Amino acid sequence: MATSEAIVREVRADDDFGQIHDLILETKRNASRDKRLSIRSAEKLRSDYFPEGPDSPQPESKGFVIEEDGRITAFMGVHPRKENGILDYGVNRYDLPRLNALLNRCEQIVLERGGTKLFYFASTQFAQIRNREISVLERLGFESEEFARTGAFLSLNYWKEPEQIDSSRIVAETDMEKDDIYRMMAEDDNETDADVFKHQLRTAEPSNVILTLRGKGNDIAAIAYYKVKKVNPQKDELSATAFNVHFRPRFELHRSEKKRFVQAVLHSMKQLGLNNVTATFSLKHVDVLTLLVQEGFHDFLGSMLSFTKTLK
């Protein structure tokens, strides 16, 4: 029985973004083996490529699909990161020629904007260093960074809060420029966390919380940040997301001082009436990992590897 030829084309506003959403979600879940993993809704996904409303900006994200027998069987989109791009994709099966066809279209978009790099964030099982998706990405010309990132969950209702919280020299920052924090983290050879920080807190919002630990001379010795948001739209509960801590190496903080800072940050979440907290951090920073485990972060949510392809 004859089948129609696969068509590679640009995504359209009337495409079934429910199909596209499911392709992306299943691709990520199959790689990470984590059925709890979620992504943005089909409606929000559509708005990335086709913003609605008279005052909506021109879309900067571009997407492409493979259509077979009237069904979308593969999708790849590229979102701007300055002049470069971040990829998102979903496929019903790994097939290098099909993926290359989509990737070539996305690469062309980045090159036309004067960019030289494409980024992709792959979800994996905790501490996993090899799976089928990683192998495919490498064959497509991507290289991974040295260390994976991971996520960990804590219910603040079960956190064993110290009887006394020492908040001396810990400051809630309200006027500090985010570029200054980015620069500090980058200077401390922590560019990956700096990039994540800049992306997560890219807009000034009351829901962004930044705390610092001041050293002698009022210099910043440590930085913590998180976002307050409603994770489940069906519930009124507020949670802390994107929580991370950065200790500045030149201050050589004692472990007890690091622990004090982490506990004070968790206490600030309790003061805001938050129920849960999800931390995301690089496994390069073992001190952060062990400190969070001590405070009860035992539910790990898999890992994420950052991949880069340099375009020629």
Q: Which of 75, 81, 85 is nearest to 25 (CA)?
A: 75
Supply the DSSP string of 112-158, one letter for each residue.
HTT--EEEEEEEESTT----HHHHHHHHTT-EE-SS-EEEEEEEGGG
| Claim to verify: residue 139 and residue 201 sit in the same structural domain | no
Looking up residue 98, the CATH number of its domain turns out to be 3.40.630.30
2 in any annotated domain? no
Strand partners for 68: 71
Range from 15-24, 121-130, 189-198, 300-309 that averages highest in pLDDT: 15-24
Confidence tier at 58 by pLDDT (50, 70, 90): low
Q: Which of 99, 123, 144 is the last residue of a domain?
A: 144
CA distances from 37 to 50, 193, 237, 259 (A): 25, 21, 19, 29
- Please tell me the least confidently modeled range out of 111-125, 161-175, 202-216, 267-281: 202-216
Mapping DSSP to helix (H, G, I), strand (E, B) and coil, where does residue 67 land? strand
Residue 152 pairs with which residues in a beta bridge?
279, 300
Taking the C-alpha atoms of residue 77 and residue 115, their distance in angstroms, rounded to an integer, is 16
Q: Is the pLDDT of residue 163 over 50?
A: yes
Strand partners for 209? 226
pLDDT value for 2: 45
pLDDT for residue 41:
86
In terms of pLDDT, which residue wins out, 227 or 129? 227
Q: Which of 109, 144, 179 is the last residue of a domain?
A: 144
The pLDDT value recorded for residue 39 is: 81
Same domain? For 181 and 284 the reply is yes
Residue with tokens 């991370």: 244
pLDDT tens column, 261-312:
999 999 999 999 999 999 999 988 999 999 999 999 998 877 888 899 999 7
- What pLDDT score was predicted for residue 202? 67
Mean pLDDT (the chain) is 89
What confidence category does residue 66 fall into, taking pLDDT thresholds of 50, 70 and 90?
very high
Query: How many domains, in total, are found in the chain?
Result: 2
Q: Which domain holds residue 215?
A: 152-303
Q: Pick the last residue of a domain from 117, 144, 171.
A: 144
* pTM of the shown model: 0.77
Residue 117: pLDDT over 90? yes
Q: Is 112 helix (H, G, I), strand (E, B) or coil?
A: helix
Give tens-digit pLDDT for 195-233. 888 877 766 677 889 999 998 888 999 999 999 988 776
Least confident of 1-5, 79-83, 308-312: 1-5
Is 44 or 204 the better-scoring residue by pLDDT? Answer: 44
Distance CA 206, CA 253 (A): 30
Of all residues in the chain, the percent with pLDDT exceeding 70 is 95
| Residue 38 shares a structural domain with residue 78 | yes
- The predicted pLDDT at position 105 comes to 95
Average pLDDT of the segment spanning 160-178:
90
